[in-house]
């Protein structure tokens, strides 16, 4: 079972191609069905119209035959009495001679059902065929008599062909000689019409099948193109993703090395130098104490204590830069306020921080991301902007949370979003994209034009307020 699941498991590109191909196949299949249905319906209507027209032409032909035959003996029938046997015999001879084609002939029945004339099927003559039906059970002679009593009419039935002895469908037209109580008529076999209609239907079915084959070939080609395109796109996207992953990995390594180098420089240039000064002060105090100069040892001891206090402050500062404890203890607002206070004291740049009470609380990932973005922005301002005033504004609203950092420096050298921007801006962008947020950078070159960095987070990163949350306006963020 596990092996079967592995065999039928699909990659993301295959699933995407399948999702794209299924609607295409369904749509084309529906179109094919509709085309086939409409083609069959249209062809059937045309075939039925053709069949009706051919049959109507046959009927008109039969009526002409009967009319010509009646005109041929009208002069005899018109002058004869109802019991004129000689006239009846003469008319019967005239009708017996009227044969045409391979199977055409005239027949005569009296109203009692007795056959009087049947030149191509003489075995019917002088026999009573009242109640005769064809192979389908359709009355033949009785229907002839009924139509003749009414004057004239057509009748369709199955009858044996004289030329072949095989049964085929016939259409007959009969008229009644009411004075003699005769049924006079002739018929024509329409198997040629039936064969033509069947051939037309077979041709329509063949065309529909060819249409299905063409549509199937088009669908197959389209599906193959979709799958091939999906595979090509997948290969291309995978290569791009691999390249981006390599670049991202390299940037992570670069950031790690940069951070390590910064910490190493601060330890070496700051704490290390301070501790060296403490060591010299303590060594100086020890030498003076060994000489018995207790009063002279006070000054180096005081300097050593002062240097140790400075070292402790530096350690705390480095620790706060690496991971500010106030961010976890009090929230984002106090952490940003502490960050701006330290930035103001360290650089001398006037820095203002403002925030409002959040109705909801930011989740932990959002706090860290906003703090690091603010930290990165202040670092860039200190190093590159030449600004004299910086403001940081943090607030929540009905759509989420927004942090806005503004300075009055010289602006960026390049327009935002281009590849030539520094790694700091790329880090900001990647941090906020991980949280489905947005980063806007507005900057213009010129004296004191300044830069605005606006970071927005969606409402999904704001959590409901906790019952034990303190009412402090900054702790609420």
Same domain, 114 and 168: yes
Dist. CA 278–CA 290, nearest whole Å? 18
Same domain, 255 and 347: no
Same domain, 174 and 129: yes
Same domain, 430 and 357: yes
- Using the predicted structure, report yes or no on whether residue 234 has a pLDDT greater than 70: yes
* Last residue in a domain, options 254, 274, 309: 309
Residues 6+ apart with CB under 8 A from 76: 87, 90, 91, 94
Dist. CA 213–CA 27, nearest whole Å? 16
For the segment 462-476, what is each residue's pLDDT rounded down to a tens digit?
776 554 344 444 444
Spell 80-119 as b/e; 16+ CB within 10 A means b.
Answer: beeebeebbeebbeebbebeeeebbbbbbbbbebbbbbbe
Q: Is residue 401 part of a domain?
A: yes
Q: Is residue 67 part of a domain?
A: no
What domain range includes position 458? 324-463
**CATH code of the domain in which 147 resides:** 3.30.450.20
Nearest to 196 by CA among 71, 48, 69: 48
Number of domains in the chain: 3
Residue 174, CA atoms < 13 Å, CB-side half-sphere: 28
- Work out the percent of the chain whose per-residue pLDDT is above 70: 86
For the segment 396-436, what is each residue's pLDDT rounded down to a tens digit?
877 888 889 998 888 776 544 444 356 677 778 888 888 88
Q: How far is CA 85 from the centre of its chain?
A: 88
Q: Is residue 136 within 8 Å of residue 170, measured between CB atoms?
A: no
In the chain, what is the straight-line distance between the N-terminal and C-terminal CA atoms, in Å?
A: 51
Q: Sign of dihedral through CA atoms 260, 264, 265, 266?
A: positive
Length of the chain: 477
For the segment 249-297, what is each residue's pLDDT rounded down to a tens digit?
777 777 677 777 777 777 777 777 788 888 878 888 888 888 877 777 7
Q: What is the pTM of this model?
A: 0.45
Same domain, 296 and 361: no
Q: Is residue 24 part of a domain?
A: no
Q: How confident is the model at residue 87 (pLDDT cuts 50, 70, 90)?
A: very high
């Amino acid at each position: 079972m596990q092996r079967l699941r592995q065999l039928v498991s699909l990659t993301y590109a295959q699933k995407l191609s399948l999702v794209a191909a299924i609607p295409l196949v369904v749509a084309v299949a529906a179109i094919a069905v509709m085309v086939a249905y409409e083609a069959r319906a249209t062809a059937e209507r045309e075939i039925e119209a053709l069949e009706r027209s051919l049959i109507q032409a046959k009927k008109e032909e039969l009526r002409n035959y009967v009319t010509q035959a009646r005109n041929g003996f009208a002069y005899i029938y018109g002058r004869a009495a109802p019991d004129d046997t000689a006239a009846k015999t003469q008319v019967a001879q005239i009708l017996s001679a009227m044969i045409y084609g391979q199977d055409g002939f005239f027949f005569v029945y009296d109203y009692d059902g007795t056959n009087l004339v049947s030149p191509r099927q003489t075995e019917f003559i002088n026999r009573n065929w009242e109640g005769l039906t064809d192979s389908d059970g359709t009355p033949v002679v009785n229907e002839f008599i009924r139509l003749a009593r009414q004057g004239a009419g057509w009748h369709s039935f199955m009858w044996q062909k004289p030329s072949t002895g095989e049964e085929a469908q016939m259409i007959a037209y009969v008229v009644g000689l009411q004075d003699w109580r005769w049924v006079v008529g002739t018929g024509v076999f329409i198997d040629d019409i039936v064969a033509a209609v069947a051939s037309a239907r077979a041709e329509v079915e063949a065309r529909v099948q060819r249409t299905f084959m063409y549509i199937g070939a088009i669908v197959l080609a389209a599906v193959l193109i979709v799958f091939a395109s999906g595979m090509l796109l997948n290969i291309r996207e995978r290569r791009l993703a691999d390249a981006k992953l390599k670049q991202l990995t390299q940037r992570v390594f670069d950031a790690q090395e940069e951070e390590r180098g910064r910490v190493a420089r601060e330890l070496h240039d700051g704490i290390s130098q301070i501790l060296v000064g403490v060591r010299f002060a303590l060594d100086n105090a020890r030498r003076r104490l060994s000489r018995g100069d207790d009063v002279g040892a006070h000054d180096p001891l005081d300097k050593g204590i002062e240097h140790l206090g400075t070292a402790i402050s530096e350690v705390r500062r480095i620790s706060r830069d690496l991971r500010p404890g106030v961010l976890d203890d009090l929230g984002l607002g106090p952490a940003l306020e502490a960050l701006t206070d330290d930035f103001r004291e360290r650089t001398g740049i006037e820095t203002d921080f403002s925030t409002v009470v959040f109705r909801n609380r930011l989740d932990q990932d959002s706090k860290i991301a906003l703090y690091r973005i603010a930290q990165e922005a202040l670092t860039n301002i200190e190093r590159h902007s030449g600004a004299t005033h910086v403001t940081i504004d943090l607030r929540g609203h009905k759509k989420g949370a927004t942090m806005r950092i503004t300075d009055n420096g010289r602006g960026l050298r390049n327009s935002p979003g281009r590849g030539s921007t520094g790694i700091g801006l790329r880090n900001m962008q990647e941090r906020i994209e991980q949280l489905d947020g947005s980063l806007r950078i507005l900057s213009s070159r010129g004296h004191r034009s300044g830069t605005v960095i606006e970071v927005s987070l969606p409402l999904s990163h704001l959590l409901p307020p906790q019952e034990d949350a303190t009412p402090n306006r900054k702790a609420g963020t």
